[in-house]
């Protein structure tokens, strides 16, 4: 399809073709082929010649500008229809595809492509009704269980749940399908169109690639030079790091004379890589066999200009095998120092300012090796790190190796004298409480603790008898609160009388299964910059229940990796190591008393039952605290065994979910620990 500009497209919306036009709607103006956002939430109106296909599934293909920060576009139907916002996948390779349902009463479609003021590029390439056969085929491939759940919900008259379940089946592709997924979304860099530079590239930072070479590398170097010459960014060079003599061909000699090639002694200091460069220049590394995508250098240059305060940048990666098949994308979270201290998730696609490298004691050879960790540089006092959410390096084929775990302690033990208050809300179900308490007593020998059982109006005699028994033990206190069920208020009331300097909020449907489980939680909560800490939770079957929460997953927030095998290390090792997350579950949540009080505890007014734990974590993050998942504490969790599973949560928690969505809209759109090209419709990381 040929486009006459970035705002107008021809696309099929019914049997015939119609014209789609993106027009400024709010806080945005057109500027040539691009748009200019006047606020951090600009809205475009998708105008169609035919009415929107209400009650139908559609496929929307769109383009985002390579030089814009990658984020999920937001699609909003007529606000009066009451439908929730739809968050489209970030267009990692320049083009995105979204499958979704057009609700009845949609009326009009609004799109917010960016989340910052300034110039941006966005276009709709196609807007198509998805034939029923295609919908069913895609849904069955995605998840037969979700399809069955959708059919059951529809049979029970649960329309929103039926659509939601079908979305979970349709709106993701497995990581093993990356090559096909990439091929359908990759577009060329359009320097004279949607990807027009915002800055003068000739004056932008110089980018130098350090490559370790041997005497027989001339042919491979010529290929690299040809590929870099063909990409659009002009301000670059290559540093050849070697201790051998290279026989330069005429092409290489010319490149050296033109300043495209310099020689750096492999035994020399890191500063030799920066010869002749300003301090703001950028130096990265790659192997001869690796590939630098055509969009990588302009993306890097503009990001570096936009962020002069940063001096170290890392991007995403994938692998290109000998057959030209791309696989194993490493779509990384934003900067996570605890995670990096445990495993080298930052990887090879790293670029440092020349001024930062000059302070390093590493050799040029070690810095030019993409398999060498940059921990020495990352640990420098003045390092300031940013994540570029784009593929900056395609590594040559090789066995997919697990990331090296470093086994670096992240705890800063407070030592003796620390006290813990474990707060457990209950209402009857005494058999759960007994198992929970017994597991605490059996696995907490090394840490002093008290348990506050907040009784929410238990009436069974066996519960009353057991609570009286507990009161005979000085470590246990019973707080009776026979109020209408309000989980947030019960937890806050328990905290009000707690004597510990750390609170552990614990569901009664949990059992501790790791010895000395409190120590890892307390070691982390005692650190100044850490807020809430959550452990590894397992279902009774042994499969994974909790390894951190992704905000926005399944529409609001959910546990990533749910259902995984307990020994699974997870995508980028995220199950097996301590790492930053945006939130942890309230089923077991540890937090220092002072930090809990600093945010006013759980929100008992707006979130009495649902999403209160996520809200607490996000308010802690607003104050600058990092929330942490640790696999070093492990518990069983019989999820929602006490209050049961409600048939229609969309109605049961409508008010809470509406409040949460309004309060945390930006966090739902963009969880910094969850890449925007990943799907929000799958528990295991999948492509959006």
Mean pLDDT by 10 residues, the chain (688 residues): 32 48 95 94 91 93 97 90 87 97 91 96 93 92 90 90 90 96 97 94 95 88 95 96 84 91 82 89 95 97 97 97 95 97 94 90 82 78 94 82 63 66 97 98 93 97 97 96 97 98 98 96 96 97 96 94 93 97 98 98 97 98 98 90 47 89 95 98 95
Residue that the structure tokens 């010649």 belong to: 49
Write out the two tokens for 570: 């997870």
Sorted by where each starts, the structural domains of the chain and their CATH numbers stand as 8-183 (2.60.120), 201-396 (3.90.550.10), 420-669 (3.90.550.10)
pLDDT for position 522: 96
pLDDT for position 642: 42
Residue that the structure tokens 């034939």 belong to: 131
Task: Specify burial of residue 268 (Cβ count, 10 A radius: 0-12, 13-18, 19+).
Answer: middle
Cα 571 to Cα 579: distance, rounded to the nearest angstrom: 13
Q: Taking the CA atoms of the chain, what radius of gyration do you get in angstroms?
A: 27
Q: What angle do CA 59, 105, 19 make, to 5 degrees?
A: 45
pLDDT for position 284: 95
The sheet that has 28-31: what strands, in order across it?
Answer: 28-31, 34-37, 118-120
Cα 229 to Cα 252: distance, rounded to the nearest angstrom: 13
3-class SS of residue 518? helix
Residue that the structure tokens 């059951």 belong to: 152
Task: Specify burial of residue 400 (Cβ count, 10 A radius: 0-12, 13-18, 19+).
Answer: exposed
Cα 311 to Cα 44: distance, rounded to the nearest angstrom: 35
Residue that the structure tokens 């492990």 belong to: 634
User: Which ranges of 124-215 would DSSP assign to H, the alpha helix?
Assistant: 132-142, 144-155, 159-170, 178-183
Among positive and negative, which fits the CA dihedral 186, 192, 196, 197? positive
Cα 175 to Cα 396: distance, rounded to the nearest angstrom: 18
Cα 344 to Cα 503: distance, rounded to the nearest angstrom: 32
Cα 528 to Cα 543: distance, rounded to the nearest angstrom: 33
User: 358-383 in b/e burial notation, b at 16+ Cβ within 10 A?
Assistant: eebebbbbbbbbbebbbeebbeeeeb
Cα 327 to Cα 322: distance, rounded to the nearest angstrom: 11
Please choose, from the candidates 646, 645, 592, the residue with its C-alpha nearest in 3D space to the C-alpha of residue 620. Answer: 592
Cα 641 to Cα 220: distance, rounded to the nearest angstrom: 62
Cα 181 to Cα 318: distance, rounded to the nearest angstrom: 13
Please choose, from the candidates 63, 69, 68, the residue with its C-alpha nearest in 3D space to the C-alpha of residue 111. Answer: 63
């Amino acid at each position: 399809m040929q486009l006459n500009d970035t705002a107008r497209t021809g696309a099929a919306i019914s049997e015939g073709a119609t014209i789609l036009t993106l027009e400024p709607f709010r806080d945005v103006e057109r500027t040539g082929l691009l748009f200019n956002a006047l606020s951090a939430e600009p809205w475009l109106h998708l105008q169609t010649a035919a009415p929107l296909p209400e009650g139908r599934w559609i496929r929307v293909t769109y383009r985002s500008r390579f030089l814009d920060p990658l984020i999920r576009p937001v699609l909003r139907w007529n606000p009066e229809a009451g439908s929730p916002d739809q968050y489209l996948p970030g267009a990692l390779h320049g083009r995105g595809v979204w499958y979704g349902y057009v609700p009845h009463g949609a009326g009009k479609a609004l799109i917010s492509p960016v989340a910052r003021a300034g110039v941006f590029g966005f276009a709709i390439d196609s807007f198509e009704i998805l034939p029923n056969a295609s919908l069913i085929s895609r849904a069955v491939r995605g998840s037969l269980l979700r399809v069955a759940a959708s059919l059951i919900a529809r049979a029970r008259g649960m329309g929103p749940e039926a659509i939601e379940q079908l979305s979970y089946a349709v709106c993701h592709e497995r990581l093993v399908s990356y090559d096909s997924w990439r091929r359908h979304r990759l577009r060329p860099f359009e320097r004279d169109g949607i990807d027009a530079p915002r800055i003068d590239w000739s004056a932008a930072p110089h980018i130098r690639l350090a490559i370790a070479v041997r005497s027989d590398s001339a042919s491979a170097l010529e290929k690299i030079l040809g590929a870099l010459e063909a990409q659009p960014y002009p301000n670059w060079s290559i540093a050849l790091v070697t201790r051998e003599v290279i026989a330069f061909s005429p092409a290489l000699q010319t490149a050296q004379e033109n300043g495209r090639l310099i020689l750096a002694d492999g035994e020399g200091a890191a500063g030799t890589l920066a010869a002749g460069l300003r301090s703001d220049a950028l130096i990265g590394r790659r192997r001869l066999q690796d590939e630098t995508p055509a969009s990588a250098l302009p993306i890097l240059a503009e990001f570096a200009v936009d962020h002069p305060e940063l001096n170290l940048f890392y991007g995403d990666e994938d692998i290109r095998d000998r057959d030209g098949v791309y696989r194993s994308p490493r779509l990384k979270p934003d900067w996570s120092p605890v995670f990096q201290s445990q495993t080298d998730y930052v990887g090879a696609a790293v670029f440092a300012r020349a001024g930062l490298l000059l302070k390093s004691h590493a050799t040029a050879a070690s810095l030019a090796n993409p398999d060498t960790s940059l921990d020495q540089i990352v640990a420098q006092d003045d390092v300031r790190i940013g994540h570029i959410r784009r593929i900056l390096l395609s590594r040559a084929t090789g066995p997919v190796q697990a990331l090296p775990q470093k086994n670096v302690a992240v705890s800063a033990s407070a030592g003796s004298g620390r006290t813990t208050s474990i707060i457990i809300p209950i209402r009857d179900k005494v058999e759960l409480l007994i198992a929970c308490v017994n597991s605490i007593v059996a696995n907490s020998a090394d840490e002093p603790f008290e348990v506050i059982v907040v009784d929410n109006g238990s009436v069974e005699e066996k519960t009353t008898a057991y609570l009286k028994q507990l009161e005979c033990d000085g470590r246990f206190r019973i707080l009776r609160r026979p109020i209408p069920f309000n989980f947030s208020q019960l937890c806050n009331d328990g905290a009000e009388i707690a004597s510990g300097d750390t609170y552990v909020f614990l569901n009664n449907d949990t059992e501790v299964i790791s010895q000395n489980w409190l120590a890892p939680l307390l070691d982390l909560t005692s650190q100044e910059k850490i807020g809430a800490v959550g452990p590894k939770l397992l279902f009774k079957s042994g499969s994974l229940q909790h390894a951190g929460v992704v905000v926005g997953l399944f529409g609001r927030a959910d546990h990533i990796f749910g259902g995984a095998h307990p020994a699974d290390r997870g995508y980028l090792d995220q199950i097996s190591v301590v790492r930053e997350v945006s939130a942890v579950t309230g089923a077991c949540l540890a937090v220092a008393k002072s930090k809990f009080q600093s945010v006013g505890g759980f929100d008992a007014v707006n979130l009495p039952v649902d999403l209160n734990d996520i809200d607490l974590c996000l308010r802690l993050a607003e104050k600058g605290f990092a929330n942490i998942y640790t696999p070093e504490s492990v518990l069983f969790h019989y999820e929602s065994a006490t209050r049961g599973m409600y048939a229609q949560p969309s109605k049961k928690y409508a008010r809470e979910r509406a409040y949460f969505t309004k309060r945390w809209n930006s966090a739902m759109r963009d969880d910094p620990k969850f890449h925007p090209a990943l799907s929000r419709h799958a528990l295991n990381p999948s492509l959006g």
